[in-house]
Amino acid sequence: MDIRRYDGKTVLVTGAGYGIGRAIALRFTREGARVGVLDVDLETAGETVGLIASAGGVAHAVRADVSKSEEVKKAVDEVASTLGPIDVLVNNAGIRYVRKVLEMTDEEWNKTIAINLTGMFYLTKAVAPQMLARGGGKIVNVGSMSGLIGQLGRAAYGASKGGVLQLTRSLAVELGPTINVNAIAPGYIAGTAMMREVDKDTKNVEWMVASTLARRAGTPEDVAGAAAFLASDDASFITGATLLVDGGFSAARFRA
Ligand SMILES: NC(=O)c1ccc[n+]([C@@H]2O[C@H](COP(=O)([O-])OP(=O)(O)OC[C@H]3O[C@@H](n4cnc5c(N)ncnc54)[C@H](O)[C@@H]3O)[C@@H](O)[C@H]2O)c1
C-alpha cells in the first residue's frame, strides 16, 4: 500500500476497539493520519492503538459510549486537543440483537436505536461545527445492507441502519458543500465480534457466500478501503451517497 491520502490529517473512528472500526483505524494510519480510537471498551481501544503504534502510526484511545451526549462531547474535545482538529469522522460503532419484533424487549429496541442512530447524531453535533469553522471535513457513516432490505430478526437493527442512510442524506444537504457526508452499507463481513455466532454457523455462511457475487465473505479491510476512499479527495463529488460493500449480495436475486 503506497497511497497516503491522509498525511497531517486527524481522523476519529468510533467503535474502533474491534472489528471493522479497528480495520478502518489501521487503514487511515497507514495512509498517514493520526487516529482517535473511540470505543466504549477502553481496553480494546488501547489494543488498537498498540497495533497502530507497532506499525509506526499515531493514535489515541478514548472511552465513550456514543449514546451518551456528554461522554461524546468530552471524547471529541480530548481527541482534538491531543491529535489536532478532526478532519474526518467515521461513525462506525454499532450493536445488533437478532430478535423478532414480538420477542424484542423495549430496552433492546431503544438501545439499538440509541447506539446505532442517535450516537451518529451526537458525534456529528460534536464534530461538524469545528469542520464548518475550518472550512472542510468528511463524515462517513457505517450503515448496513440490513438498512436496505428486510431480514428475519433484524427489525430494530435494520430500522436503525435505514435511519443511518437517511440521516446521511439529510446531513449531506445541511452540511454541504463544506462537509461531504456518505454512508457505507456492508453486507456480511466475517471475523468481527458482532459476527462471532454467525461465523460459526457453517451452513448459513455457505449460503451467504454462495449468494454473494464475489463468492466470499467480506473482510473488515474491504469496508476500511471504502471508508478511506469516501473520506478522500478522490470522492469529492460524492455526497449523500450510500456505497454498498456487500460483494454483490443485494444486486442479485437469481443468478442462474
Ligand atoms: N460485521 C458485519 O457483517 C457488518 C455488516 C454490516 C454493518 N456492520 C456495521 O459495522 C459496524 C462495526 O461492526 P463490527 O462487525 O465491526 O462489530 P464489532 O462488535 O466487532 O465492533 C463494534 C465496536 O463498537 C463498539 N461499541 C459498541 N457499542 C458502543 C457504544 N455504545 N459506544 C462506543 N462504542 C461501542 C464495540 O465495543 C466494538 O469495539 C457496526 O455499525 C455494524 O452495524 C457490520
- CA atoms of 86 and 80, how far apart (whole Å): 6
- Is the shortest distance between the CB of 123 and ligand 1 below 6 Å? no
Does the structure show a pLDDT above 70 at 15? yes
Q: CATH homologous superfamily of domain 10-186+221-246?
A: NAD(P)-binding Rossmann-like Domain (3.40.50.720)
* Residue-range domain boundaries for the chain: 10-186+221-246
- Is the CB–ligand 1 distance for residue 39 below 6 Å? yes
Ligand 1 nearest atom to the CA of residue 45, by list position: 39
User: 256 pLDDT exceeds 70?
Assistant: no
**pLDDT tens per residue, range 165-195:** 999 999 999 999 999 999 999 999 999 999 9
Interval between CA 39 and ligand 1 midpoint (Å) = 10
> Ligand 1 center to residue 191 CA distance, Å?
12
Average pLDDT, the chain: 97
Say whether pLDDT at 62 is over 90. yes
Q: Which of 30, 82, 79, 77 is closest to 51 using CA atoms?
A: 30
Q: Which residue has the cell 497531517?
A: 8
pLDDT tens column, 42-53:
999 999 999 999
Q: Is the CB of 44 under 6 A from ligand 1?
A: yes
Is residue 157 flagged as an active site residue? yes
Please give the distance, rounded to the nearest whole angstrom, from the Cα atom of residue 92 to the centre of ligand 1: 6
Instruction: With a cut of 60, say whether residue 88 has pLDDT above it.
Output: yes
Confidence of residue 1 (pLDDT cuts 50, 70, 90): low
Ligand 1 atom with the smallest distance to the CA of 194 is 19
> Which of 14, 19, 9 lies closest to 221, judged by CA?
19
- Total-model pTM: 0.98
Q: For residue 242, count other CB atoms closer than 10 A to its CB.
A: 18
Q: Please, which contacts does 25-29 make with residues 24 or more away whose CB atoms are closer than 8 Å?
A: 25/52, 25/59, 26/51, 26/52, 26/55, 26/57, 26/224, 27/221, 27/224, 27/225, 27/227, 27/228, 28/88, 28/90, 28/227, 28/228, 28/231, 29/55, 29/57, 29/58, 29/59
Q: Which residues pair with 138 in a beta bridge?
A: 88, 180
pLDDT of amino acid 252: 84
